[in-house]
Chains A and B, each alone.
Chain A
């Protein structure tokens, strides 16, 4: 099926409407919002990884001109409830400001409110806090041990979650398989690190009893969480969704910032604003992401076919947890990757340590998991002396296998993995690439080819919540769209969340334009505030093309149906004879008999007497969409349909390493990408390229590293290294479209594309490069210095 023939606007190279405001600097970012009489917050943070707060002396700070208030954790805890957590861990309460004990270096202890941010920082300097240092634990494995220091005494252990699932005949399959291997893979603590830090402005109107919130937010149930922590009805919380978010990719959760500011603005009677500076952001904001240790075992045959896998994933969530432990749950929906592995044992462990609290990151745990799986596949090939490409071919799910149900219960919707790989190889010959690699090796360079086949589960529902917390019974994760045609015929559609660069206004406009056969530019897309909104699960879980696009599609269908009925009635024909086309309705049997858009609008808005009986006047429709394939809770043995769609990506790269320096350079990058029907090609391409760049960072440069004393030593952009234009090579994308049967246009998700396979491909390429030296590395990020030291040692050993 040719996409160009099927669609008018979808899949065409259309501009992204949001871009116009951004290129002129007219985005509406939270730091641009200026509320009259607004005061500024700065934070005093704990310098130790664990400490008892013995006393707080606020006097000097309060005596300073322009300083309005100094808030401590005890007062805030009296006035608010702890923040929502995903797991039921009441003895691990999470609060914006530490109460009695601070549990990581950088934890917020005191908030200062002043006329300007600079004055607030001056006053923060003047707050004197007397601490008693306490013992601490940083390492997840040490934290799991029985005699470990406890991060939260009352919880009785550092383990928040330890759950083992067995799907299929794991023991039998392991016993039957002639070959086994074990691999330990470490994903370093990294994150998405948007260029805009988190920020929030709150303003309380005591007469209307409404808290206005402007925030740089990407957080499901944000308003619910604010209302419940502040003990006000959610109908008193008005979140403004027309704030542009300067990047998030998962982390902009900001709930503690918002509860803190919300409390302050109610307590003080004026608006307050907290815009994290980069140090607050890196040390104690919602900045950190997964830090995960995998122990994987595979059972496989001499032919390289993998029959079964055991995986333990140990997550160091930091000192407190919101939704972060759920990042161990989402990968269950693609736990075997794109492979036909028959049985899996999966143990998910989340522990607290005295590190910064972790939040959600692009892929929600999937990218680290994909590294573990893809390293195993390469090692299977290595142990057998087989080519990793051949081993993948033998294990990949075939197109005739779809829909394909994996052991953990999710049915993959569609795919043609081998066809996409063949397309990539037709573009860039694997044999030629191997020759190129070998030629480089002959010149004394280390060179390696990395391939990775990875899935992007998309259309996010929240089923992992129920999977990991049996008390949760959430089985929906909605999104919505409302369309209204005004009295003169213009179309306005709504969406009900913030965006952080995904082009959702373009998405909604394009989909509605496609359904109605009207130029998408005619569809205005707006974002009402939360009190005027329909439900939205927010842009998480690679879901908006599917869910917001789906809601817009269905709402437009409802509008089309209504217009058709009005037209049919006015033409005096049965509805089934009426045809809607590009804003007009005509009689199938007499195409000249037609009613134009303006007349349809006229009837609906002003001529009730011409409307079909019992029809609502006006042209206002809405649709609240349930996640396709959703609505079920997990079975007792932990099988469940996770996300409805699976996008596929295949990376093939060449990495070179100057053996004297150890610094990996990406010499060639190809990716095959299939996310079903592409709604906007410019957006999807950008997401894929950006995801690859982010993956390069996670694989090679980025880590929130700590020293043994519990101090973070990568707390600025001097040490936490984001890839610049020099570090991202030219990338060629080879596209394939395998539509999803579960979505309205065949679309799948792409918000995490690139990122889900790039770290795996890089890890495989570096290991292929090291192979001639007989060494391997499975700890990310793959630092040049570490590689350089390994290479030097191996070379010396070889020489002696």
Chain B
């Protein structure tokens, strides 16, 4: 299991990376490589050139931008895992990160790498969709941005233009009485999820949901926001029955995927359960509990 031959470049900055990308249709960006390298080893991916952005210092940062938390695309997951800003300002991400692979893969894997790979079961993709993150990219000629909801098109397919390299990901930070919940189920603790769910709520002083975001992952081609459930639950006290019914209804018409590990019906049903649990956890967390990890 050896990769096919390729050329290797280590650009000094993102502009050089984009220039290299533009020059070779077969080139691919590598950051942590925790997904790309296995695919190359199995020769399922055969880039002609790897453009290694892992050393570009300007792509590795976690920055507090007030109402946003910004990440350089090359920021390693292990740094995010230990970061105080992430823990305090993006507790949903803090909940999700320990579920990504293993410590040894988080040591190399980056936020941008995970998002650009667009695995439907990826935890960071789910968090990005839940929180309406914005993905910033550069190409040789332009810069652009895409909302997370538009970024993911299908399994390992994104809206990123040809020759583009992710530069940053920005997550809105919610203020107020905010709580989060994150659940996933898999065969073994560290596997890709069969189904996953994330929820974030902001409670009003009277305990009703002022704002709520719910999304599910791993059950369809891309992570899905449950808009109808969100609309239905906003302004309510998030009673367990109402939550259960809202997420169940929101998932009823979604075409879920089946594979060796889980049937389509299992995914739909379990996603509803996990989403309801995530909302319940988020509510409890917002009311002053600790978020569960």
Residues on A facing B (Cβ under 8 Å): 117-118, 121-122, 125, 277-279, 660-663, 700-701, 705, 713-714, 716, 718-719, 721, 723-724, 726-727, 783-786, 788-789, 792
Once the chains bind, are B188 and A721 in contact (CB under 8 Å)? yes
A785 contacts which chain B residues (CB < 8 A)? 194, 261-263, 266
23 A-B pairs within 8 Å (CB atoms) are namely A118-B5, A122-B4, A125-B4, A277-B1, A278-B1, A661-B273, A662-B266, A662-B270, A663-B185, A700-B187, A714-B260, A721-B191, A724-B188, A727-B188, A727-B189, A784-B194, A785-B266, A788-B262, A788-B266, A788-B269, A789-B263, A789-B266, A792-B265
Please give me the residue from chain A that is nearest to B269 by CB atom.
A792
B260 contacts which chain A residues (CB < 8 A)? 705, 713-714, 719
Give the Cβ gap from A195 to chain B, nearest Cβ, in Å: 15
Q: Say yes or no: A726-B265 contact (C-beta < 8 A), given A122-B4, A661-B270.
A: no
Besides A661-B185, A783-B187, 16 new A-B residue pairs in contact (Cβ under 8 A), listed by A number: A121-B1, A121-B4, A122-B4, A125-B43, A278-B1, A661-B270, A663-B187, A713-B260, A718-B192, A719-B260, A723-B188, A727-B188, A784-B262, A785-B261, A786-B263, A788-B269
Q: Say yes or no: A788-B270 contact (C-beta < 8 A), given A125-B4, A279-B1, A705-B260.
A: yes
Once the chains bind, are B188 and A701 in contact (CB under 8 Å)? yes
The 6 tightest CB contacts between A and B, nearest first, are A785-B262, A277-B1, A118-B2, A726-B189, A660-B273, A785-B266
For the complex, would chain B's binding face be called helix, strand, loop or mixed by DSSP majority? Answer: loop
Q: Say yes or no: A660-B2 contact (C-beta < 8 A), given A721-B191, A785-B194.
A: no
In angstroms, Cα B189 to Cα A723, docked, is 10
A117 contacts which chain B residues (CB < 8 A)? 2
Give the Cβ gap from A775 to chain B, nearest Cβ, in Å: 16
Once the chains bind, are B2 and A121 in contact (CB under 8 Å)? yes
A789 contacts which chain B residues (CB < 8 A)? 263, 265-266
In angstroms, Cα B261 to Cα A701, docked, is 9
Q: Check if B42 is an interface residue, CB within 8 A of chain A.
A: yes
Once the chains bind, are B2 and A279 in contact (CB under 8 Å)? no
Give the Cβ gap from B245 to chain A, nearest Cβ, in Å: 15
B156 contacts which chain A residues (CB < 8 A)? none
Pick the contact of B190: A125, A713, A724, A786 (CB < 8 A): A724
Once the chains bind, are B269 and A701 in contact (CB under 8 Å)? no
Give the Cβ gap from A361 to chain B, nearest Cβ, in Å: 21
Once the chains bind, are A716 and B4 in contact (CB under 8 Å)? no
Identify the interface centre among A118, A719, A721, A788: most chain B CB within 10 Å of its CB.
A788
B191 contacts which chain A residues (CB < 8 A)? 721
In angstroms, Cα B261 to Cα A718, docked, is 11
A783 contacts which chain B residues (CB < 8 A)? 187, 261
Once the chains bind, are A279 and B42 in contact (CB under 8 Å)? yes
In angstroms, Cα B174 to Cα A326, docked, is 65
For window 1-27 of B, CB contacts with A under 8 Å fall at 1-5
A700 contacts which chain B residues (CB < 8 A)? 187
Q: Say yes or no: A726-B190 contact (C-beta < 8 A), given A121-B2, A279-B42.
A: yes
B1 contacts which chain A residues (CB < 8 A)? 121, 277-279
B3 contacts which chain A residues (CB < 8 A)? 118
What is the 8 Å Cβ interface bit string for chain B, positions 180-204, against chain A (1 contact, 0 not)? 0000010111111010000000000
In angstroms, Cα B185 to Cα A663, docked, is 8
Once the chains bind, are B263 and A726 in contact (CB under 8 Å)? no
Please give me the residue from chain A that is nearest to B183 by CB atom.
A661
B190 contacts which chain A residues (CB < 8 A)? 724, 726
Pick the contact of A660: B42, B189, B270 (CB < 8 A): B270
Identify the interface centre among B1, B191, B192, B273: most chain A CB within 10 Å of its CB.
B1
Give the Cβ gap from A730 to chain B, nearest Cβ, in Å: 16
In angstroms, Cα B63 to Cα A357, docked, is 56
In angstroms, Cα B4 to Cα A326, docked, is 41
Give the Cβ gap from B270 to chain A, nearest Cβ, in Å: 6
B188 contacts which chain A residues (CB < 8 A)? 701, 721, 723-724, 726-727
A723 contacts which chain B residues (CB < 8 A)? 188
Pick the contact of B187: A279, A716, A721 (CB < 8 A): A721
In angstroms, Cα B187 to Cα A786, docked, is 12
A714 contacts which chain B residues (CB < 8 A)? 260
Give the Cβ gap from B247 to chain A, nearest Cβ, in Å: 13
In angstroms, Cα B261 to Cα A785, docked, is 7
Please give me the residue from chain B that is nearest to A661 by CB atom.
B185
In angstroms, Cα B189 to Cα A139, docked, is 32
Please give me the residue from chain A that is nearest to B192 by CB atom.
A718
